[in-house]
Amino acid sequence: MNSFYRIFPFIIVLPAGFLFPAAGQPPYDNYHLVWSDEFDVSGLPDSKNWGYEKGCSVRNSELQYYAEAREKNSRVEDGFLIIEAHRETMSGCTYTSANLRTMGKRSFKYGLFEIRAKIDIRQGSWPAWWWLPNSGGWPRGGEIDMMEFYQGKCLFNVMDGNQKWSSKTKRVSSEWAERFHVWTWEWDSLKIDLWLDDTLMNHYPVENADGTGPNGENPFRRPGYMLVNQAIGGTNGGDPSKTEFPIQYIIDYVRHYQQGGDTSGVKSDSSPMIYFNGKRVLHRNGTSLLSPPLAVTVYTINGRSAEKWAISGNDGPMSLSRILDRAGRCSTVSQQLRIVTIREVNGQLLRFTTITRK
């Protein structure tokens, strides 16, 4: 995201009733959830997790003023974090937006991280999800851009302490931008892997950054913090003058998993969310979010007394071809189901589903 110096899943339904994630997804085995923000409480973002960068044109000659704790620019609404940019004058800038960061609140070193989000890819939009070091500064402390978009392409970047960039890109379309997508970042002492929708986009050997960090350290063997922001214009964002505002960066959740521990256990207080036709069906506490609500009953999970979902509508069982994908989204209508047994892996992450046909 600090680019001023820069040079440059699917699931198959088998006859036996099992749903298997396709090859190529991040290796979730032996990871367990240690922190997440599911954005369930409306209003300003949770101050235990997020603080704010503030100021006009903080970097990259960008055009926005980053506002602090201003609901017009950053708020939780209907279970989503919305970072919203507006064309309006504030403190010398002609646009307003927000940059949320965990600095001083949540520190991260190693693990598997996810964000499920929908981004605006129109001219002038420059959203990002990225990492900076707790100490050592930029550029010496390094930078990881798990998700960045501008000028028609998503970027997946790693920059060492000598400002040497490893950058991969993917062109995306307006149709692509109409949907939510999942960006995943796996990081340990040996590698940084950046994924988009279960496709590996950039593999970076951490040893490549040896000696480039503060005091000759490797910058990617040190802790840091995450940022989510919506920039406007600047060196890479493009000219926003003909774009209709507001611009929204909509985030469903941010999650952090770490290796070790029992990943098959049940968390009775954190029911996963279910989506149907792009709308969230259930709150994490199991209550329906639709009106009229779906009838949802919780029974068992992994054979224990926890969670099984019996889903029905006004006319009987809901017709679905598959109930969930790995990101917790529901898909198209075709196959009638009576009971869905959900196996939970890694806390709230859903990997396998067994269905009992009607």
Please say if 143 is a catalytic residue. yes
Of the residues 38, 62, 114, 143, which is catalytic? 143
Among 284, 286, 334, 339, CA closest to 308: 339
Classify 288 as helix, strand or coil: strand
- Determine contact, residues 272/284, Cβ cutoff 8 Å: yes
Q: How many CB atoms lie within 10 A of CB 142?
A: 28
Residue of 38, 84, 148, 344 marked catalytic: 148
Q: Residue 211 has which token pair?
A: 């000696």
207 is catalytic: no
DSSP β-bridge partners for residue 279: 276
Specify whether the CB–CB gap between 67 and 96 falls below 8 A: yes
**Beta strand pairing status for 55-56 and 64-66?**
antiparallel
Could you report how far apart the first and last alpha carbons of the chain are, in Å?
50
Alpha carbon separation from 124 to 57, 62, 63, 186, 233 (Å, rounded): 14, 10, 9, 29, 5
- Cβ(78)–Cβ(290) under 8 Å? no
Contact of 185 with 203, CB cutoff 8 Å: no
CA separation, residue 122 to residues 8, 116, 141, 341 (Å)? 21, 19, 31, 40
User: How many degrees, rounded to 5, is the angle at CA 226 between CA 223 and CA 227?
Assistant: 150
Residues tagged active-site:
143, 148
